[in-house]
């Protein structure tokens, strides 16, 4: 089993004085500057297995089983993320190749990578929300009917995209 460590803030030692509430307010506390205790999980589980108290031994066993299951779930999630990324990249490459094939059959120049009809990578929910806010603000400035809240209507997004083709997040 590999060595697993957990970082946690140190509690003040019994001989140290604990700062008062006034000191805490006046001093800026940066979590990065606080001392950190490194907990060796494997050593802790070994300690638990060697204890004469059955409750502690069982707690150590359940913790080890839980950590093993958690590691399995983590590995599975990483594998799914990698496979999903590869699938999206392959789908994008296929869409570009199909667009090039259509252009070749029609005798027109091959489309650029950002050609309409060729799917692009999803910019992510935060960037989509921000693009929606920009489209909504643009609609208000230009007198396009758009609700104040909720989803931005498709006709508003389409008009915004036509007016701002450089905004790649508004797809």
Q: What digits encode the pLDDT tens for the residues 57-73? A: 999 999 999 999 999 99
Q: Is the pTM of this model over 0.75?
A: no
Gap between the Cα atoms of 62 and 56, Å rounded: 10
Domains of the chain by residue range: 5-79, 125-170
Closest to 87 (Cα-Cα) out of 115, 114, 122: 122
96, 113 Cβ separation under 8 angstroms = yes
Q: Which pLDDT band holds residue 26 (cuts at 50, 70, 90)?
A: very low
User: pLDDT for 147-160, tens place per residue?
Assistant: 888 888 988 888 88
């Amino acid at each position: 089993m590999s060595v697993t460590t957990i970082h946690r803030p140190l509690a003040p030692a019994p001989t140290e004085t604990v700062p008062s509430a006034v000191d805490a307010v006046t001093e800026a506390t940066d979590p990065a500057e606080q001392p950190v205790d490194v907990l060796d999980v494997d050593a802790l589980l070994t300690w638990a297995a060697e204890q004469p108290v059955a409750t502690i031994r069982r707690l150590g066993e359940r913790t080890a089983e839980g950590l093993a299951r958690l590691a399995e779930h983590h590995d599975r999630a990483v594998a799914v993320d990698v496979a999903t990324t590869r699938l999206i990249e392959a789908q994008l490459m296929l869409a570009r190749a199909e667009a090039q094939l259509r252009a070749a059959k029609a005798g027109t120049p091959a489309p650029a990578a950002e050609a309409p009809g060729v799917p692009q990578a999803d910019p992510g929910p935060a960037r989509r929300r921000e693009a929606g806010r920009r489209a909504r603000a643009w609609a208000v400035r230009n007198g396009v009917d758009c609700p104040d809240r909720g989803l931005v209507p498709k006709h508003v997004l389409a008009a915004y995209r036509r007016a701002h083709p450089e905004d790649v997040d508004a797809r």
